[in-house]
Structure 1
Amino acid sequence: MAELLRLDNVWAGYGEAVVLEGISFTLEEGDSLSLLGRNGMGKTTLLSTLMGATHYKSGSMRFAGQDLSKVPAHARAHLGLGWVPQERDIFPSLSVEENLTVVATQGAWNLEKIYAMFPRLNERRKNMGNQLSGGEQQMLAIGRALMLNPKLLLLDEPLEGLAPLIVQELLSIIKRLTEESGMAVILVEQHARQILPLTRQALVLERGKGVFQGSSDTLLNDRALLDSWLGVTAH
Protein backbone atom coordinates (compact mmCIF):
# COMPACT_ATOMS: atom_id res chain seq x y z
CA MET A 1 0.00 0.00 0.00
CA ALA A 2 1.12 3.54 -0.75
CA GLU A 3 1.77 6.03 2.02
CA LEU A 4 -1.21 8.33 2.64
CA LEU A 5 -0.30 10.37 5.74
CA ARG A 6 3.06 11.20 7.32
CA LEU A 7 3.70 13.37 10.36
CA ASP A 8 7.30 14.16 11.31
CA ASN A 9 8.06 15.96 14.58
CA VAL A 10 4.80 17.92 14.60
CA TRP A 11 4.29 20.58 17.27
CA ALA A 12 0.90 22.28 17.59
CA GLY A 13 -1.53 23.79 20.07
CA TYR A 14 -3.84 26.72 20.70
CA GLY A 15 -2.49 30.26 20.69
CA GLU A 16 0.82 30.19 22.57
CA ALA A 17 -0.03 26.95 24.38
CA VAL A 18 1.74 23.87 23.03
CA VAL A 19 -0.28 20.64 23.24
CA LEU A 20 1.40 18.30 20.75
CA GLU A 21 5.14 17.82 21.11
CA GLY A 22 7.10 16.08 18.39
CA ILE A 23 4.39 13.74 17.04
CA SER A 24 5.55 11.38 14.28
CA PHE A 25 3.74 8.52 12.58
CA THR A 26 2.73 7.24 9.14
CA LEU A 27 -0.47 5.77 7.77
CA GLU A 28 -0.83 3.90 4.51
CA GLU A 29 -3.82 3.92 2.18
CA GLY A 30 -6.61 1.78 3.65
CA ASP A 31 -4.79 1.46 6.99
CA SER A 32 -6.37 1.95 10.41
CA LEU A 33 -5.09 3.50 13.64
CA SER A 34 -6.39 3.57 17.22
CA LEU A 35 -5.42 6.91 18.78
CA LEU A 36 -5.41 6.40 22.54
CA GLY A 37 -4.59 8.18 25.77
CA ARG A 38 -6.26 9.49 28.88
CA ASN A 39 -8.40 12.63 28.77
CA GLY A 40 -6.48 15.81 27.99
CA MET A 41 -3.47 14.09 26.43
CA GLY A 42 -3.85 15.60 22.96
CA LYS A 43 -5.92 13.13 20.95
CA THR A 44 -8.58 15.59 19.79
CA THR A 45 -5.89 18.22 19.24
CA LEU A 46 -4.11 15.86 16.86
CA LEU A 47 -7.26 15.38 14.77
CA SER A 48 -7.93 19.12 14.89
CA THR A 49 -4.38 19.77 13.69
CA LEU A 50 -4.94 17.49 10.70
CA MET A 51 -8.08 19.51 9.91
CA GLY A 52 -6.34 22.87 10.30
CA ALA A 53 -8.16 23.94 13.46
CA THR A 54 -5.11 24.50 15.70
CA HIS A 55 -2.00 26.67 15.71
CA TYR A 56 0.48 24.57 13.76
CA LYS A 57 3.97 25.46 15.02
CA SER A 58 6.54 23.22 13.36
CA GLY A 59 7.27 19.84 11.83
CA SER A 60 6.04 18.25 8.63
CA MET A 61 2.59 16.97 7.66
CA ARG A 62 2.08 15.35 4.28
CA PHE A 63 -1.22 13.93 3.05
CA ALA A 64 -1.70 12.27 -0.32
CA GLY A 65 1.62 13.71 -1.46
CA GLN A 66 0.86 17.30 -0.47
CA ASP A 67 2.18 19.53 2.31
CA LEU A 68 -0.94 19.55 4.50
CA SER A 69 0.22 22.56 6.52
CA LYS A 70 -0.12 24.72 3.41
CA VAL A 71 -3.68 23.59 2.62
CA PRO A 72 -6.36 25.94 4.04
CA ALA A 73 -8.65 24.37 6.62
CA HIS A 74 -11.73 24.80 4.41
CA ALA A 75 -10.04 22.87 1.57
CA ARG A 76 -8.93 19.81 3.54
CA ALA A 77 -12.23 17.96 3.17
CA HIS A 78 -11.96 18.26 -0.61
CA LEU A 79 -8.39 16.98 -0.38
CA GLY A 80 -9.76 13.75 1.12
CA LEU A 81 -10.06 14.23 4.90
CA GLY A 82 -13.39 13.31 6.48
CA TRP A 83 -13.93 14.39 10.11
CA VAL A 84 -16.58 13.32 12.62
CA PRO A 85 -16.01 15.55 15.67
CA GLN A 86 -17.18 14.76 19.20
CA GLU A 87 -19.93 17.37 18.87
CA ARG A 88 -21.22 15.65 15.66
CA ASP A 89 -22.13 19.08 14.21
CA ILE A 90 -25.10 17.88 12.16
CA PHE A 91 -27.50 20.48 10.80
CA PRO A 92 -30.48 20.35 13.21
CA SER A 93 -32.95 22.13 10.92
CA LEU A 94 -32.21 19.95 7.87
CA SER A 95 -33.65 16.50 7.23
CA VAL A 96 -31.50 13.39 7.39
CA GLU A 97 -31.37 13.25 3.61
CA GLU A 98 -30.54 16.95 3.32
CA ASN A 99 -27.73 16.53 5.88
CA LEU A 100 -26.28 13.74 3.76
CA THR A 101 -26.57 15.40 0.37
CA VAL A 102 -25.58 18.96 1.25
CA VAL A 103 -21.87 18.04 1.34
CA ALA A 104 -21.87 15.05 -1.01
CA THR A 105 -19.19 14.52 -3.64
CA GLN A 106 -19.01 11.98 -6.45
CA GLY A 107 -17.69 8.57 -5.47
CA ALA A 108 -18.51 5.12 -4.15
CA TRP A 109 -20.35 6.46 -1.11
CA ASN A 110 -23.82 7.62 -2.15
CA LEU A 111 -27.27 7.68 -0.52
CA GLU A 112 -28.01 4.09 -1.45
CA LYS A 113 -24.80 2.83 0.15
CA ILE A 114 -25.24 5.00 3.26
CA TYR A 115 -28.80 3.78 3.79
CA ALA A 116 -27.68 0.17 3.33
CA MET A 117 -25.08 0.63 6.07
CA PHE A 118 -27.37 2.68 8.32
CA PRO A 119 -30.94 1.36 7.93
CA ARG A 120 -32.08 3.64 10.79
CA LEU A 121 -31.21 6.67 8.68
CA ASN A 122 -33.23 5.31 5.78
CA GLU A 123 -36.24 4.91 8.09
CA ARG A 124 -35.82 8.50 9.30
CA ARG A 125 -34.70 10.11 6.05
CA LYS A 126 -37.39 12.82 6.30
CA ASN A 127 -36.84 13.56 10.00
CA MET A 128 -35.03 16.73 11.01
CA GLY A 129 -31.60 16.40 12.58
CA ASN A 130 -32.91 17.60 15.96
CA GLN A 131 -35.56 14.84 15.95
CA LEU A 132 -32.97 12.06 16.08
CA SER A 133 -31.65 10.21 19.12
CA GLY A 134 -27.99 10.59 20.10
CA GLY A 135 -27.10 7.32 18.41
CA GLU A 136 -28.93 8.26 15.23
CA GLN A 137 -27.19 11.64 15.18
CA GLN A 138 -23.85 9.86 15.44
CA MET A 139 -24.78 7.60 12.54
CA LEU A 140 -25.80 10.67 10.55
CA ALA A 141 -22.51 12.42 11.34
CA ILE A 142 -20.55 9.38 10.12
CA GLY A 143 -22.76 9.02 7.06
CA ARG A 144 -22.34 12.68 6.17
CA ALA A 145 -18.53 12.35 6.41
CA LEU A 146 -18.65 9.27 4.17
CA MET A 147 -20.66 11.18 1.56
CA LEU A 148 -17.52 13.29 1.06
CA ASN A 149 -15.87 10.06 -0.14
CA PRO A 150 -12.74 10.68 1.94
CA LYS A 151 -9.41 8.94 1.66
CA LEU A 152 -9.03 9.20 5.46
CA LEU A 153 -11.88 9.20 8.00
CA LEU A 154 -11.24 10.77 11.43
CA LEU A 155 -13.60 9.56 14.17
CA ASP A 156 -13.39 11.42 17.50
CA GLU A 157 -14.94 9.33 20.31
CA PRO A 158 -17.91 8.10 18.25
CA LEU A 159 -19.19 5.88 21.09
CA GLU A 160 -19.30 8.56 23.79
CA GLY A 161 -22.56 8.74 25.75
CA LEU A 162 -24.40 6.13 23.71
CA ALA A 163 -26.52 3.22 24.94
CA PRO A 164 -24.81 -0.20 24.95
CA LEU A 165 -26.93 -1.57 22.09
CA ILE A 166 -26.09 1.44 19.90
CA VAL A 167 -22.43 1.09 20.83
CA GLN A 168 -22.41 -2.49 19.59
CA GLU A 169 -24.15 -1.47 16.38
CA LEU A 170 -21.61 1.29 15.74
CA LEU A 171 -18.68 -0.99 16.56
CA SER A 172 -19.92 -3.39 13.90
CA ILE A 173 -20.16 -0.54 11.39
CA ILE A 174 -16.68 0.76 12.24
CA LYS A 175 -15.31 -2.76 11.85
CA ARG A 176 -16.74 -2.88 8.34
CA LEU A 177 -15.20 0.51 7.55
CA THR A 178 -11.72 -0.49 8.74
CA GLU A 179 -11.77 -3.92 7.12
CA GLU A 180 -13.80 -3.60 3.94
CA SER A 181 -14.03 0.00 2.74
CA GLY A 182 -10.46 0.50 1.48
CA MET A 183 -10.51 3.85 3.27
CA ALA A 184 -7.99 4.76 5.97
CA VAL A 185 -9.41 5.40 9.45
CA ILE A 186 -8.06 7.09 12.59
CA LEU A 187 -10.24 6.29 15.59
CA VAL A 188 -10.12 8.12 18.93
CA GLU A 189 -11.89 6.37 21.80
CA GLN A 190 -11.58 6.06 25.56
CA HIS A 191 -12.43 2.34 25.59
CA ALA A 192 -9.22 0.82 24.28
CA ARG A 193 -10.32 -2.80 24.48
CA GLN A 194 -13.33 -2.06 22.27
CA ILE A 195 -11.46 -0.39 19.44
CA LEU A 196 -8.03 -2.04 19.35
CA PRO A 197 -9.47 -5.19 17.72
CA LEU A 198 -10.83 -2.97 14.92
CA THR A 199 -7.54 -1.35 13.86
CA ARG A 200 -4.13 -2.48 12.64
CA GLN A 201 -2.02 0.18 14.35
CA ALA A 202 -2.12 1.99 17.70
CA LEU A 203 -0.64 5.28 18.86
CA VAL A 204 -0.76 6.26 22.55
CA LEU A 205 -0.36 9.90 23.60
CA GLU A 206 0.85 10.98 27.03
CA ARG A 207 0.92 14.73 27.70
CA GLY A 208 1.03 15.48 24.01
CA LYS A 209 3.85 13.07 23.20
CA GLY A 210 3.74 9.69 21.51
CA VAL A 211 4.73 7.04 24.05
CA PHE A 212 3.74 3.94 22.06
CA GLN A 213 3.45 3.23 18.37
CA GLY A 214 3.00 -0.28 17.11
CA SER A 215 0.47 -2.93 16.21
CA SER A 216 -2.93 -2.88 17.90
CA ASP A 217 -2.56 -6.57 18.75
CA THR A 218 0.70 -5.93 20.58
CA LEU A 219 -0.88 -3.27 22.77
CA LEU A 220 -4.10 -5.22 23.31
CA ASN A 221 -2.18 -8.26 24.56
CA ASP A 222 0.19 -6.33 26.84
CA ARG A 223 -1.65 -5.77 30.10
CA ALA A 224 1.28 -3.85 31.61
CA LEU A 225 1.33 -1.31 28.78
CA LEU A 226 -2.44 -0.86 28.86
CA ASP A 227 -2.40 -0.36 32.61
CA SER A 228 0.56 2.01 32.51
CA TRP A 229 -0.80 4.42 29.92
CA LEU A 230 -4.53 3.83 29.89
CA GLY A 231 -5.47 2.17 33.18
CA VAL A 232 -7.86 -0.25 31.50
CA THR A 233 -6.71 -3.75 32.44
CA ALA A 234 -9.50 -4.17 34.95
CA HIS A 235 -12.20 -3.47 32.33
Structure 2
Amino acid sequence: MAELLRLDHVSAGYGDAVVLEDISLAMQEGDSLALLGRNGMGKTTLLVTLMGITRLHGGSLTWKGGDLAAVPTHQRAGRGLGWVPQERYMFPSLTVEEHLTAVARPGPWNVEKVYGAFPRLKERRRNMGNQLSGGEQQMLAIARALMVNPSLLLLDEPMEGLAPIIVQELTGVIRRLVQDSQMAVIVVEQHAKLALALTQQAIVLERGQIVHASSSQSLLDDPQTLTRLLTVA
Protein backbone atom coordinates (compact mmCIF):
# COMPACT_ATOMS: atom_id res chain seq x y z
CA MET A 1 0.00 0.00 0.00
CA ALA A 2 1.17 3.52 -0.78
CA GLU A 3 1.61 6.10 1.95
CA LEU A 4 -1.47 8.29 2.21
CA LEU A 5 -0.82 10.73 5.05
CA ARG A 6 2.23 11.85 7.00
CA LEU A 7 2.57 14.35 9.82
CA ASP A 8 6.10 15.35 10.77
CA HIS A 9 6.57 17.30 14.02
CA VAL A 10 3.27 19.13 13.61
CA SER A 11 2.31 21.86 16.05
CA ALA A 12 -1.08 23.51 15.54
CA GLY A 13 -3.84 25.33 17.36
CA TYR A 14 -6.23 28.25 17.32
CA GLY A 15 -4.75 31.68 16.76
CA ASP A 16 -1.63 31.99 18.94
CA ALA A 17 -2.71 29.13 21.20
CA VAL A 18 -0.81 25.90 20.49
CA VAL A 19 -2.89 22.77 21.18
CA LEU A 20 -0.94 20.08 19.32
CA GLU A 21 2.81 19.78 19.84
CA ASP A 22 5.32 17.74 17.86
CA ILE A 23 2.83 15.27 16.36
CA SER A 24 4.34 12.72 13.99
CA LEU A 25 2.42 9.83 12.43
CA ALA A 26 1.92 8.12 9.08
CA MET A 27 -0.92 6.18 7.49
CA GLN A 28 -1.02 3.93 4.46
CA GLU A 29 -3.96 3.43 2.13
CA GLY A 30 -6.59 1.35 3.91
CA ASP A 31 -5.12 1.85 7.40
CA SER A 32 -7.36 2.40 10.40
CA LEU A 33 -6.42 4.38 13.50
CA ALA A 34 -8.07 4.83 16.89
CA LEU A 35 -7.31 8.32 18.22
CA LEU A 36 -7.76 8.20 21.98
CA GLY A 37 -7.30 10.48 24.96
CA ARG A 38 -9.23 12.19 27.72
CA ASN A 39 -11.40 15.19 26.96
CA GLY A 40 -9.53 18.31 25.92
CA MET A 41 -6.31 16.54 24.94
CA GLY A 42 -6.35 17.54 21.25
CA LYS A 43 -8.15 14.73 19.43
CA THR A 44 -10.67 16.91 17.60
CA THR A 45 -7.96 19.51 17.02
CA LEU A 46 -5.92 16.89 15.17
CA LEU A 47 -8.85 16.10 12.88
CA VAL A 48 -9.65 19.73 12.13
CA THR A 49 -5.96 20.38 11.50
CA LEU A 50 -6.16 17.82 8.72
CA MET A 51 -9.20 19.70 7.39
CA GLY A 52 -7.32 23.01 7.49
CA ILE A 53 -9.36 24.71 10.19
CA THR A 54 -6.53 25.38 12.66
CA ARG A 55 -3.37 27.43 12.43
CA LEU A 56 -0.23 25.43 11.67
CA HIS A 57 2.60 26.60 13.93
CA GLY A 58 5.24 24.15 12.79
CA GLY A 59 6.00 20.89 11.05
CA SER A 60 4.60 19.49 7.82
CA LEU A 61 1.52 17.64 6.60
CA THR A 62 1.96 15.45 3.54
CA TRP A 63 -1.04 14.07 1.66
CA LYS A 64 -0.46 11.60 -1.18
CA GLY A 65 3.05 12.94 -1.52
CA GLY A 66 2.09 16.63 -1.67
CA ASP A 67 1.94 19.48 0.82
CA LEU A 68 -1.48 19.34 2.49
CA ALA A 69 -0.96 22.65 4.26
CA ALA A 70 -0.93 24.38 0.87
CA VAL A 71 -4.38 23.04 -0.01
CA PRO A 72 -7.21 25.48 0.90
CA THR A 73 -9.73 24.20 3.42
CA HIS A 74 -12.60 24.19 0.93
CA GLN A 75 -10.63 21.98 -1.46
CA ARG A 76 -9.64 19.24 0.98
CA ALA A 77 -12.81 17.18 0.58
CA GLY A 78 -12.16 17.18 -3.15
CA ARG A 79 -8.66 15.91 -2.51
CA GLY A 80 -10.03 12.87 -0.66
CA LEU A 81 -10.63 13.84 2.97
CA GLY A 82 -14.07 12.98 4.37
CA TRP A 83 -14.98 14.51 7.73
CA VAL A 84 -17.85 13.61 10.06
CA PRO A 85 -17.82 16.27 12.81
CA GLN A 86 -19.47 15.86 16.19
CA GLU A 87 -22.01 18.55 15.33
CA ARG A 88 -23.29 16.69 12.22
CA TYR A 89 -24.42 19.94 10.54
CA MET A 90 -27.75 18.90 9.04
CA PHE A 91 -29.44 21.36 6.66
CA PRO A 92 -33.14 21.77 7.56
CA SER A 93 -34.01 22.88 4.01
CA LEU A 94 -32.56 19.74 2.34
CA THR A 95 -34.02 16.24 2.17
CA VAL A 96 -31.93 13.22 3.07
CA GLU A 97 -31.33 12.50 -0.60
CA GLU A 98 -30.40 16.11 -1.33
CA HIS A 99 -27.82 15.99 1.48
CA LEU A 100 -26.23 13.07 -0.37
CA THR A 101 -26.42 14.26 -3.96
CA ALA A 102 -25.25 17.79 -3.15
CA VAL A 103 -21.75 16.56 -2.24
CA ALA A 104 -21.47 13.49 -4.51
CA ARG A 105 -18.16 12.88 -6.25
CA PRO A 106 -17.28 10.06 -8.66
CA GLY A 107 -16.35 6.76 -7.08
CA PRO A 108 -17.76 3.51 -5.69
CA TRP A 109 -20.03 5.20 -3.16
CA ASN A 110 -23.26 6.41 -4.73
CA VAL A 111 -26.78 6.91 -3.42
CA GLU A 112 -27.83 3.28 -3.88
CA LYS A 113 -24.72 1.93 -2.15
CA VAL A 114 -25.26 4.34 0.75
CA TYR A 115 -28.88 3.18 1.04
CA GLY A 116 -27.62 -0.38 1.08
CA ALA A 117 -25.41 0.45 4.06
CA PHE A 118 -28.10 2.55 5.76
CA PRO A 119 -31.56 1.17 4.85
CA ARG A 120 -33.17 3.55 7.31
CA LEU A 121 -31.99 6.51 5.23
CA LYS A 122 -33.69 5.08 2.17
CA GLU A 123 -36.94 4.95 4.12
CA ARG A 124 -36.37 8.60 5.14
CA ARG A 125 -35.00 9.85 1.83
CA ARG A 126 -37.71 12.50 1.40
CA ASN A 127 -37.54 13.74 5.00
CA MET A 128 -35.77 16.99 5.82
CA GLY A 129 -32.57 16.92 7.82
CA ASN A 130 -34.22 18.37 10.91
CA GLN A 131 -36.95 15.70 10.81
CA LEU A 132 -34.51 12.90 11.63
CA SER A 133 -33.69 11.44 15.02
CA GLY A 134 -30.20 11.88 16.43
CA GLY A 135 -29.19 8.41 15.31
CA GLU A 136 -30.56 8.98 11.82
CA GLN A 137 -28.72 12.28 11.60
CA GLN A 138 -25.47 10.52 12.48
CA MET A 139 -26.12 7.91 9.80
CA LEU A 140 -26.71 10.72 7.31
CA ALA A 141 -23.55 12.55 8.39
CA ILE A 142 -21.47 9.42 7.74
CA ALA A 143 -23.33 8.66 4.50
CA ARG A 144 -22.77 12.22 3.27
CA ALA A 145 -19.04 11.90 3.93
CA LEU A 146 -18.97 8.61 2.03
CA MET A 147 -20.58 10.29 -0.99
CA VAL A 148 -17.40 12.37 -1.31
CA ASN A 149 -15.66 9.01 -1.95
CA PRO A 150 -12.80 9.88 0.40
CA SER A 151 -9.44 8.19 0.66
CA LEU A 152 -9.48 8.98 4.40
CA LEU A 153 -12.61 9.15 6.56
CA LEU A 154 -12.39 11.16 9.80
CA LEU A 155 -14.99 10.17 12.41
CA ASP A 156 -15.26 12.45 15.44
CA GLU A 157 -17.17 10.76 18.28
CA PRO A 158 -19.55 8.91 15.94
CA MET A 159 -21.30 7.07 18.80
CA GLU A 160 -21.81 10.01 21.15
CA GLY A 161 -25.27 10.17 22.71
CA LEU A 162 -26.75 7.38 20.59
CA ALA A 163 -29.00 4.54 21.68
CA PRO A 164 -27.30 1.12 21.97
CA ILE A 165 -29.16 -0.28 18.95
CA ILE A 166 -27.92 2.61 16.78
CA VAL A 167 -24.38 2.19 18.13
CA GLN A 168 -24.53 -1.47 17.13
CA GLU A 169 -25.71 -0.58 13.62
CA LEU A 170 -23.04 2.11 13.10
CA THR A 171 -20.36 -0.17 14.52
CA GLY A 172 -21.22 -2.75 11.86
CA VAL A 173 -20.97 -0.15 9.09
CA ILE A 174 -17.61 1.16 10.30
CA ARG A 175 -16.25 -2.36 10.70
CA ARG A 176 -17.19 -3.16 7.11
CA LEU A 177 -15.54 0.06 5.92
CA VAL A 178 -12.32 -0.91 7.69
CA GLN A 179 -12.36 -4.53 6.55
CA ASP A 180 -13.72 -4.31 3.02
CA SER A 181 -12.49 -1.00 1.68
CA GLN A 182 -9.32 0.69 0.51
CA MET A 183 -10.49 3.72 2.48
CA ALA A 184 -8.40 4.70 5.50
CA VAL A 185 -10.27 5.61 8.68
CA ILE A 186 -9.45 7.63 11.82
CA VAL A 187 -11.88 7.13 14.70
CA VAL A 188 -12.03 9.53 17.66
CA GLU A 189 -14.14 7.84 20.30
CA GLN A 190 -14.61 8.07 24.07
CA HIS A 191 -15.57 4.38 24.11
CA ALA A 192 -11.95 3.31 23.82
CA LYS A 193 -12.53 -0.45 23.68
CA LEU A 194 -15.03 0.01 20.87
CA ALA A 195 -12.61 2.15 18.86
CA LEU A 196 -9.78 -0.32 19.43
CA ALA A 197 -11.95 -3.25 18.34
CA LEU A 198 -12.65 -1.45 15.05
CA THR A 199 -9.11 -0.39 14.13
CA GLN A 200 -5.61 -1.68 13.44
CA GLN A 201 -3.48 1.01 15.10
CA ALA A 202 -3.92 3.33 18.08
CA ILE A 203 -2.41 6.51 19.44
CA VAL A 204 -3.19 8.25 22.72
CA LEU A 205 -2.90 12.01 23.12
CA GLU A 206 -2.02 13.73 26.39
CA ARG A 207 -1.94 17.54 26.46
CA GLY A 208 -1.59 17.67 22.70
CA GLN A 209 1.26 15.18 22.46
CA ILE A 210 1.40 11.51 21.51
CA VAL A 211 2.16 9.54 24.68
CA HIS A 212 1.40 6.06 23.34
CA ALA A 213 1.41 4.40 19.93
CA SER A 214 0.81 0.70 19.31
CA SER A 215 -1.41 -1.77 17.55
CA SER A 216 -5.02 -1.53 18.66
CA GLN A 217 -5.05 -5.17 19.67
CA SER A 218 -2.01 -4.87 21.94
CA LEU A 219 -3.57 -1.91 23.78
CA LEU A 220 -6.88 -3.75 24.01
CA ASP A 221 -4.99 -6.70 25.53
CA ASP A 222 -3.33 -4.44 28.14
CA PRO A 223 -6.19 -3.04 30.23
CA GLN A 224 -3.86 -1.66 32.90
CA THR A 225 -2.08 0.56 30.37
CA LEU A 226 -5.36 1.55 28.78
CA THR A 227 -6.82 2.56 32.14
CA ARG A 228 -3.68 4.47 33.13
CA LEU A 229 -3.67 6.44 29.88
CA LEU A 230 -7.35 7.34 29.90
CA THR A 231 -8.30 7.68 33.57
CA VAL A 232 -8.66 11.22 34.87
CA ALA A 233 -6.14 11.73 37.68
Shared fold, TM over 0.5 = yes
Q: CA deviation digits over 1:102-155, x for unaligned, max 9?
A: 010111000010000000000000000000000000000000000000000000
Amino acid at match of 1:112: E
Query: In the alignment, what sits opposite 2:122?
Result: 122
Range moving further from structure 2, 84-93 or 182-191: 84-93
Kindly report structure 1 stretches of 4+ aligned residues shifted beyond 4 Å. Answer: none
2:151 aligns with 151
What amino acid is aligned across from residue 147 of structure 2 in structure 1?
M
Counterpart position of 1:168? 168
Structure 1: gaps spanning 5 or more residues: none
Instruction: Report which stretch shifted further, 54-63 or 223-232.
Output: 223-232
Which residues of 2 match residues 187-202 of structure 1 at below 5 A? 187-202=187-202
Q: How many aligned residue pairs are there?
A: 232
Cα distance in structure 2, aligned partners of 1:92 and 1:32? 32
Q: CA deviation at 1:92?
A: 1.9
TM-score when normalising by structure 2? 0.98
TM superposition shift of 1:55: 0.8
Q: Distance in 2 between matches of 1:17 and 1:228?
A: 27
1:208-219 correspondence runs (5 A) = 208-219=208-219
Aligned residue number for residue 9 of structure 2? 9
Distance 2:135 2:94 in 1: 17
Q: Which runs of 5+ in 2 are unaligned?
A: none
User: Could you say what secondary structure the match of 1:194 adopts?
Assistant: helix
Q: How high is the TM-score relative to the length of structure 1?
A: 0.97
- Pairing of 1:60-209 with structure 2 (within 5 A): 60-209=60-209
Aligned-pair identity in percent equals 68
Amino acid at match of 1:203: I
Instruction: Give the RMSD, CA atoms, in angstroms.
Output: 0.9
